[in-house]
Amino acid sequence: MKDCLKKIYFLTISVFLFHCSMNMEDKVLLDKEQIIDSNFSQSFVENFNKNKNFSSSYNIFFSEEVDEKLISSFMKGIEFGFFSNQDSMNSKLSFIAFNEESDCSTIKARGFNLVLVNDINSEFYRKCKRRLSRNFLFTSINIDNENEFIQIDEKSLLITGKNRNSKNNENTLSLKNSSDYEQKIADYFEINLSNERVRSLRNVLKEKINFSPRKRKDIDKIFIDALPNETKRIIPAIRYNLIFDAEVLTYPKSLDVWNSELSLSELNKVEGLEYPVLLNRMNIFEKIIPELNVNEKIAFSAGFDIFFFGAKIRGRSSNFSGLLGRYEIKENFLYSKPLKFRIDLSGVKQG
């Protein structure tokens, strides 16, 4: 599309159907006895129940360069927030597509205005971030945050999945060209070499030898940067190879409790940074979140947070966390920051 503003989407039939699909059971929120995930869940639900501060109108301008599936999930998040209570349904919503080659003056509206671009390097953001008023915020679903806790040194190991960027150094174990993660991790920790030595010794001595693989003492921390379906294989492989003394820390988007087969005992003592929506399975989102992949969950959560908690975000509230964690605004660009967490046998601690 080459016109400056090609389409204007008003929530009509789609949101009506979405509304009809929500029955009264969907609107029953978690109470304190039901919250078993983390302290984040309780504070989130309290903010959810108390919030009555909504703008009279929300104008979402989205770049044609943003992935259509992510736009769809983002809109679903806004719709979910829109129908969450009587106060929110008084707002007017509009979705407006634009071409990044458009002039800044084409973005005009009153109310809460958000400009969704593909990433921080967007041409439109660079040329318009200072020309548009403070009533406009830019954001992106594709921003990966720097991780404060990451300190890869000679006593650390970074395990990266197939679709994650990896640094080519001796402290990185990339699974990019491997389908047998368990074998590759065992090879790295030389478990198989120990087994072969024992087999050779048994053949020489012709007698049974009791053996337990030796533990690696030279690695204090293991960082995991992988997709959730890879992480659920990597963590058991680490445990299986008797690597219990090293801390296990995960990068954001490496865990997803909505689609996980890992038990609490396997996740015991795992910590790191994660988006709360991926670590806290709350009943109010049970009928929509499980159907989405990780990136779609992030997009849905961005839409929900921006609509439902928009006033808190614009007010730069310091004591508020949404589904994507804490928010900060720099040069009119809205960033979400995942929260630190720790898992033990009693559950998830985050917030």
pLDDT tens profile 35-88: 344 678 878 888 888 888 888 889 999 999 999 999 999 999 999 999 887 888
CB neighbours of 64 closer than 8 A, spacing ≥ 6? 1, 6, 97, 98, 99, 100
The pLDDT, as a whole number, for residue 242 is: 63
Q: What is the mean pLDDT of residues 115-140?
A: 89
pLDDT tens profile 288-329: 999 999 999 999 999 999 998 888 887 777 667 899 999 988
Report whether pLDDT(154) > 80.
no
The pLDDT, as a whole number, for residue 315 is: 76
Q: What is the mean pLDDT of residues 117-127?
A: 92
Q: Name residue 197's beta-bridge partners.
A: none
**To the nearest whole percent, how much of the chain has pLDDT over 70?**
76
Q: What is the mean pLDDT of residues 106-115?
A: 86
Q: What is the largest CA-CA distance in the chain?
A: 85
Pairing status of strand 339-344 against strand 333-337: unpaired
| Rounded distance between C-alpha atoms, residue 213 and residue 239, angstroms | 12
| Rounded distance between C-alpha atoms, residue 239 and residue 185, angstroms | 11
- Measured CA to CA in angstroms, residue 28 lies from 25, 31, 178, 210, 284 at distances of 5, 9, 45, 57, 7
Q: Which of 131-140, 166-175, 314-323 holds the top average pLDDT?
A: 131-140
Q: What is the mean pLDDT of residues 13-36?
A: 38
CB neighbours of 323 closer than 8 A, spacing ≥ 6? 44, 275, 276, 277, 301, 304, 305
Average pLDDT, the chain: 79
Give the predicted TM-score (pTM) of the model. Answer: 0.81
Q: What are the chain's domains? A: 5-144+282-337 (3.40.50)
Q: What angle do CA 75, 76, 81 make, to 5 degrees?
A: 100
